[in-house]
Structures are given as C-alpha cells and as structure tokens.
Structure 1
Amino acid sequence: MSRATTPAWTPVCPLDRLDEDRGVAALVDGVQVALFRTADGLFAVDNLDPVGDAYVMSRGLVGSRGEVRTLASPLHKQVYDLTTGRCLDVAGVTLRRHRVRCRDGLVEVRLRQEE
C-alpha cells in the first residue's frame, strides 16, 4: 500500500473515557468500530457482528480462553480472539481488527483495509 493511500490515524476519545474490559462504539471515517481497553492494552474491531449481522460488538463480553484475550458476541455468543480477530467457535469466521494506539492520552484508530 502506498503512503498516499494509507489511512490516517483518527482521534477518537481520551484514554480515561474507556473503562477496562468494557466496550464503546465509535464512528471512524464512516465505519462503526468497537474499542476495548484491557489489562493487555487497547483493541479496535469492527462493531458489526460477522455472524449476527448487527452492530453490537461494543456490547460484547471481554474475557479469555487460556492465555487468549477474547470477545464474545452479545447475540449468539461466538467468541473471537481480540488479537487476531479469528472466531474460536466457527471455522473461517473473522472479526476485522483495526490499529489502535494511545498518543498523549488520546486514543487513535487507523482503519484496516479489507483483509
């Protein structure tokens, strides 16, 4: 991807607005994103549940399976690896992840193109 087409970092909210292990939805360049702050860091994924086809992932349950940090859909309870986006319950299903960082106390997201 050339530098000219690389998506920009979009400021979303102050870090202290994100409660640990609770999601929040944000609109980033027209895309609904679910943001999560955990003890392991920040995560950003599409808010669209790939199985239930509804914008609800920000209301999902953060947890773990062994050492894997997970997010369970609030609809049908499919569980996703927050690091990779891979569904741990349904083969071939993934949740699109986005880059996220905290800079000067401000959470920023850079959308990832279709994978």
Structure 2
Amino acid sequence: MSGTATLTWARVCRLDRLEPGRGVAALVDGVQVALFRTADGLFAIDNHDPVAGAYVLSRGIVGSRGAVPTVASPLHKQVYDLRTGRCLDLPGVAVARHDVRCRDGLVEVRLRQEA
C-alpha cells in the first residue's frame, strides 16, 4: 500500500461471523487483511506472511505468549503480536497492523500504512 493510511472505516462482516480463536481473511480497499477475534478483543493485521511470502496469516494458530495475543504463521511458525504486528521470533520483521472496531454488531477496519 502506498500513500497515506485510509481515513475511512470499511465494513467487513457481522461480529458473530468471527469465530473466537480463529482468523478470517478479508479484502479491504484492495489489501488482504487477517481478522482475529480473541478473548483480548478484535485484531487486524496484513494477511501477508513476510517470511513465507504468502497470504496465509489468517489461517495461523491463534494463541498467546504470556499476556500477548499472538498468531503463528501456518507455514514457518513465526509468531506475531496481534497488537503490534511485530514478529516475536525474528527481530526487525513485522506485518502492518490495522485499526479494527465493532459498531452496532458490524466489524469495521481502517487500514494503516506502517508495519
């Protein structure tokens, strides 16, 4: 994604369509986003795994490291902090994190540019 972050919120799905502890992929303004609903809340990160080079993070294993909600890549098992997008296994590796909220039972995402 180039330019500045998207300023508008895009409706993605109803909250009840997100199964707790599982990820789902969504296309938001042409960007594949991985959405997660956990006991800690809603999270949105890029679906692109920077290590494997594939769009698979929505299929990753949701868990935690201590108090940190995480997703592990289904391909090479690197673990990403769902709050920040930072890889906990490889210094300097990260995925973009996006804003996510639930309004009136609908999940909405606003893209951010940084990783």
- Normalising by the smaller structure, the TM-score range is over 0.9
How far apart are 1:67 and its partner, in Å?
1.1
Matches of 1:56 and 1:34, distance apart in 2: 8
TM-score w.r.t. length of structure 1: 0.93
Give the % identical residues: 77
> Over alpha carbons, which structure has the higher Rg?
1
TM-score normalised according to structure 2 size: 0.93
How many residue pairs were aligned?
112
Distance 1:65 1:42, change over 3 A: same
Distance 2:27 2:19 in 1: 18
Residue correspondence of structure 1 range 28-107 to structure 2 within 5 A: 28-107=28-107
Task: Structure 1 unaligned segments of length 5 or more: list them.
Answer: none
C-alpha separation between the residues in 1 aligned to 2:88 and 2:114? 20
CA RMSD of aligned residues (A): 1.4
Contact 2:59 2:74 in 1 (8 A): yes
Alpha-carbon distance in structure 1 between the residues aligned to 2:87 and 2:113: 19
Q: Provide, for residues 61-99 of structure 1, a one-character-per-residue CA deviation record: whole Å limited to 9, x for no partner.
A: 110111111110001000011111111110100011000
C-alpha displacement at 1:6, in angstroms? 4.8
Instruction: Could you tell me which runs of 5 or more consecutive residues in structure 2 were left unpaired when the two chains were aligned.
Output: none
